[in-house]
Structure 1
Amino acid sequence: MSSPPFFSVITATHLRSALLARNLRSLRAQTFQDFEIIVVADALDGGTASVCAELLREHDVFIKRNGRRGPAQSRNVGMSLARGEWVLFLDDDDTFAPHHLQRAHERITAAGEPAAKVLFSDFDVLTEDRSKDLHTALSRSRVNLGGHPVESLHVKNFIPNNALLFHRLVLEGSTVDPHLESQEDWDFLLSVCQKAMPVHYEGGGAIVHKDYVNPGTRRGTTTAANDTTVVVDFLHTYRRWRAPTPELQAQRQQLMQSVGLALPVAWF
């Protein structure tokens, strides 16, 4: 077996071959190439198989898994297969700019930088209409995260999944909960935060793609249903990962009060 790569990039996909092709092309275009791609599909069609056959390399992995559909379990399968020293998640509808892995590698190996087991970068938000040309952006904006106090992750997530990098050792014992209807990325991140808090670095090239024109099928049929699901999952996550300080407890209480839910501060 070849030596382990520096990075493992895990891509969860579900019957979106055009988006997956864009995702994989962004990885193949990376200026730093010591990485493996692990594509985990929860369903399979000809388009997905064709894209993987074209764009994955010999040492990359493609697997169609069984069981409950959704990205959570696909990410868990990907983590179980990852050989890299550092692990990244890049869902099928998102991409990396060509310099992303290069910049991450430079930060990890830089002399004089504080050691970290979890890193996160700034990112771009690109809006698009996926019913039209995927190469045409409606808008693009940069989101700088350096000013965010990292402790606020205990109240609400502000880091998208593809802007994070995890050392493989910090992932031991952590899994993505497939039973959550929302907030599974945040719940997973908080489980990792019990071992190591994320450290910010500048210059990352994570790109979050959003289609507000064609949102697609979502769980729940009304805004109220979706809002209720989010609140329930917030409460579940709060109870699983208690706030480490009274100040953060109070911030959690205030956030729930803002959506009409009054609970004593000790609950958080």
Structure 2
Amino acid sequence: MTTVSVVVPTYNCADVLPRTIESVLAQTLSDLELIVVDDASTDETESVVSGYDDPRIRYVRHPTNRGGSAARNTGIANARGTYVAFLDADDEWYPRKLERQVDCLTSRGDEWVAAYCGFDRIRNGRLSGLRGLIATRVGGRENTRKEGGAELVADSLLLRGFSTGGMSTLVVERVVVDAMDGFDESFQRRQDWEFRTRLLKRGKLAYVDEILVRKHGSGKPSAETVERASLHFLDTFAADVATLEQRGHVVVGRHLFEVAVRHYADGNFRRGTSYLRRSHVTSVRQCLSLGFGLTLGVRTTLRRLARRTLRGASSIRPDPR
């Protein structure tokens, strides 16, 4: 049996996929298989994968686009490893990533069923420096090195200083992934939040205190997409949310704040304000995040107005007389 099955879901990422694949092949733990699940890409993804002459690589293609959760489930169904690791198609691993995480899990008791690790985040754009400052220096690090099981469900639901940094940092025992029935395919976004919350109910999550993943910025979903995913997440864990709210914790308000900021960033000020009025703001970091969202929204609005002005000017033709 292979030690680790690496599942890489991809959709039209042929330009960055080589970086991802090569970071897997460079792992110091070589007893692995790499399953690339092509979610009906229309670019050169298949050619990129077939260009590697390595028997550890397998390519699986969906005939139609089904989303990231379905692609990960296809990878799990084809996996033969003791552990399953997930890697987004635009991220990359440092060479000792799998070795360090497998060593961590094999050195602990049976209740430790998964491990995550530290990561770098590469941010792009003119405001990336400000965004990075908000994310990493104000109110604590994005990844706070927490370990444990069911006791962390509250932190996961409350968005309270606990993040695994997405799926690219996770290694999970295959038997646990199977017991969880993989990913909930109704989630088009927030798959990592949903999976992490269920995982914590199955066993303990360990942390390897090293930066072993490099995450690259990618396209952002629309505010409407984030809104639907956040509300779906709250509905899925409604019982847990209700219990925490009864204990005096504000869960819904924290999630609505995230939705409000995303609407502001898209220039949807009226809808953003409607969510902000129902949200919960308690920290300096949240205030700065709100200011950042407003700044992006103003820029977005000004650009839209400029484009409309240019289109209007180009449609005015001079009088031939």
Q: Distance in 2 between matches of 1:32 and 1:200?
A: 18
**Structure with greater proportional strand content:** 1
Aligned to 1:109: 106
Aligned partners of 2:147 and 2:204 also within 8 Å: no
Q: Distance in 1 between matches of 2:146 and 2:204?
A: 15
Root-mean-square deviation (CA, aligned residues, Å) is 3.1
Offset, 1:88: 0.8
Specify which of 46, 49, 54 is matched with residue 49 of structure 1. Answer: 46
Q: Distance in 2 between matches of 1:244 and 1:178?
A: 26
Specify which of 158, 161, 165 is matched with residue 163 of structure 2. Answer: 158
Higher relative contact order (CA 8 A, sep 6+): 1
SS at 2:251's partner residue?
helix
SS at 2:66's partner residue?
coil
SS at 2:102's partner residue?
helix
**Structure with greater proportional helix content:** 2
Q: Deviations over 1:219-268 (max 9, x none)?
A: x4xx4x24532442332233275576568772414425754448xxxxxx
- Structure label with greater radius of gyration: 2
Aligned to 1:127: 123
Q: Percent identity?
A: 22
SS at 1:17's partner residue?
coil
The worse-fitting range, judged by mean Cα deviation, of 166-175 and 71-80 is 166-175
Question: 2:92 matched to 1:86?
Answer: no
Q: Distance in 1 between matches of 2:225 and 2:235?
A: 15
Cα 1:143–1:190 change in 2 (3 A) is: closer
Q: Distance in 2 between matches of 1:143 and 1:246?
A: 24
Q: Distance in 1 between matches of 2:8 and 2:247?
A: 33
Offset, 1:42: 1.1
Offset, 1:80: 0.7
Aligned to 2:235: 236
TM-score where L is the length of structure 1 = 0.77
**Letter of the structure 2 residue corresponding to residue 153 of structure 1:** S
Question: 2:72 matched to 1:75?
Answer: yes
5 Å-filtered alignment, 1:205-224, equals 205-211=212-218, 215=219, 218=221, 220=222, 223=223
Offset, 1:176: 1.7
Q: Distance in 2 between matches of 1:36 and 1:248?
A: 45
Aligned partners of 1:25 and 1:55 also within 8 Å: no
Question: 2:176 matched to 1:180?
Answer: no
Offset, 1:55: 2.5
**Letter of the structure 1 residue corresponding to residue 49 of structure 2:** C
